Amino acid sequence: MRPPGRWRDLLDQRVAEAVDFLGRAPGVAGFLIAGSVGRGDPWPMSDIDLLPIYLGDHPPAALSPELDQRRAELVDWWAGSGRAQTLDLAWLSFATGEIGDAMRAGPDQVAARMTDRRWFHGIDKAYGARTAGAADPGIAGWLTGMRFHPAVVAARLAEWRRQADSALAEAERLRESDPMTATYHLREAARGFRLVLIEGWGERLGSMGREWTRFERMAGRYGQPELAARIATVGGAGVRETAARAAIAPVWLQERIESCRAARLAVGEDVTEEENARDQLAAYTVHVVRKRPELGGPWTASPDPRLGEHLAELREIAITLPGSG
């Protein structure tokens, strides 16, 4: 399934359309165009990631109703006008006042905000972004510069370690009474420990639909391919372990697997057929468990048939990683 030849032009036009249409909502100063589109390295399956910048000192706790309505209208129009397009516009946002305060205060204040989920995920999402609309264009460059400041990296590493340890403890607590939920927490812990390594390498991960192969490539560059393979296996994302699951995946996921393979090859990505299938299977196992559990089935391998063995393996891995007590 080849991606359409004009996919870059389409992305560019839809970004411009989204910024114009959504930017008319009251209280919006502009947007950060984030993700692979904002960084200038899109692929045919790229989402359009927009982080609103609101006027005032604090953003709303959730996407404003006006913006949410406009987002729904735009996505519906795109789907009906030729080709569907994902528009990621949700709870990650900033406000002009808080950004100004943080810019004046410097990196230590940004590091202190890494326990705030919005800042923790937002500063990573905004890495390499560009500003659109009436927002100060300096915001994007400042957030990018802060992302890998040593104080911020140290705070992020500590937070990923805390999240991974917490998920592992929850998996162990629920192992006997609720193996399905324990499996979910085991895999969240594996993903968290993976990010402890990535932060320590001074890297970031990016697209969820390509993350396990990217992680393994990074680990190879840093001389730790065996460790990456162990983490992938206990996290339900080993290439060999997922092959049988991919063969029984639902039709919608099979379509996704084929489309992503073609899209990755179109931009020259180094990925095998098996790695691509694994990446999509692992990503949508997480999505289904979190959002659409009724779509689950044997393809998710939940509960993990080797739950006890994988918990023991991850405990061994955890004590070798930064931040172990």
278 in Cβ contact with 213 (< 8 Å): yes
Residues 63-114: tens digit of each pLDDT: 888 999 999 999 999 999 988 999 999 889 999 999 999 999 999 999 999 9
pLDDT, mean of residues 200-224: 95
Residue 172 tokens read as 């162990």
Q: Looking at residue 82, what is its pLDDT?
A: 83
- Whole-angstrom Cα distance, residue 127 to residue 276? 25
The answer to whether the pTM exceeds 0.85 is yes
Q: How far is CA 237 from the centre of its chain?
A: 16
Over residues 234-289, the pLDDT tens digits come to 999 999 999 999 999 999 999 999 999 999 999 999 999 999 999 999 999 999 99
Mean pLDDT over 162-176 rounds to 98
| Rounded Cα gap, residues 94 and 135, in angstroms | 11
Mean pLDDT of all residues belonging to the chain: 95
pLDDT mean over 169-194? 97
Share of the chain above pLDDT 70, in %: 98
Q: pLDDT tens for residues 297-317? A: 999 999 999 999 999 999 999
User: How confident is the model at residue 219, as a pLDDT?
Assistant: 98
pLDDT of residue 213: 97
Amino acid identity, position 42: P
DSSP 111-128: HHGGGSHHHHHHHHHTTT
What is the spatial distance between Cα 53 and Cα 136, in angstroms, rounded to a whole number? 10
* β-pairing verdict for 87-88 and 94-95: unpaired
Cα 23 off chain centre by: 24
pLDDT value of position 4: 61
pLDDT at 322: 87
| pLDDT for the residue numbered 3 | 60
The pLDDT tens digits of the residues spanning 33-77 come to 999 999 999 999 999 999 999 999 999 988 888 999 999 999 999
Torsion of CA 54, 56, 60, 66, to 10 degrees: -50
- Distance CA(124)–CA(208), nearest Å, equals 13
